[in-house]
């Protein structure tokens, strides 16, 4: 499995690279009134409004102001696009199945984590995009976030 590595507050995370459409520099996020706490707002990607998920809130990390050096990972899965703000992307790694550890029964309170990968630099938490998509599904439907 190819994984895109990224960092948030110095911690390493990953997502399946097959869902990644592109990585772009941070742009202005338009807040949505009445949105959920985990949705920061929307951005315009080639004429489509794409929800931006606050990964810090999903992982119960302290929030912070976005910086121009931050990046947005644009992902597409289950017919929806999402933007995931991260501090930095670090590249793609090839993670063999034997290096993957299911998260069930190992970690509690990690509903957005699909597994843990053993990597040369240590352990990497792998996001479960299906859970993030479920969180943003209704906003994505309303904004036309389909590809």
**Separation between Cα atoms, residue 12 and residue 131, nearest integer Å:** 19
Q: Which residue has the tokens 């994505």?
A: 140
Query: What was the pLDDT predicted at 107?
Result: 58
Query: What was the pLDDT predicted at 147?
Result: 47
- Percent over 90 (pLDDT), the chain: 34
Beta strands in 17-121, from DSSP E residues, in sequence order: 20-25, 39-45, 48-53, 71-77, 80-86, 88-94, 100-102, 113-119
Average pLDDT over residues 45-63: 86
pTM above 0.85, yes or no: no
CB–CB of 92/44 below 8 Å? no
Taking CA atoms, 106 is separated from 98, 103, 113, 131, 145, in Å, by 16, 5, 11, 18, 34
Handedness of CA 28, 78, 11, 1 (dihedral sign): negative
Architecture of domain 2-143: Beta Barrel (2.40)
**Separation between Cα atoms, residue 123 and residue 100, nearest integer Å:** 10
pLDDT confidence bin for 136, thresholds 50/70/90: low
- Listed by start position, the domains of the chain span 2-143
Query: What was the pLDDT predicted at 142?
Result: 46
Taking only the tens place, the pLDDT of each residue in 13-36 is 999 999 999 999 999 999 988 767
CB–CB of 39/51 below 8 Å? yes
């Amino acid at each position: 499995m190819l994984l895109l590595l990224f960092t948030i507050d110095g911690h390493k995370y990953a997502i399946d690279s097959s869902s990644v459409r592109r990585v772009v520099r941070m742009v202005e996020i338009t807040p949505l009134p009445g949105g959920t706490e985990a949705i920061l707002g929307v951005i315009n990607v080639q004429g489509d409004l794409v929800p931006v998920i606050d990964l810090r809130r999903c992982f119960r990390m302290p929030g912070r102001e976005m910086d121009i050096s931050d990046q947005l990972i644009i992902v597409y899965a289950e017919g929806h696009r999402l933007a995931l703000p991260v501090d930095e992307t670090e590249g793609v790694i090839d993670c063999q199945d034997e290096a993957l550890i299911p998260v069930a029964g190992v970690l509690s309170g990690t509903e957005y984590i699909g597994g843990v990968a053993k990597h040369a630099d240590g352990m990497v938490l792998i996001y479960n995009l299906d859970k993030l998509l479920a969180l943003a599904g209704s906003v994505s439907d309303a904004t036309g976030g389909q590809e």
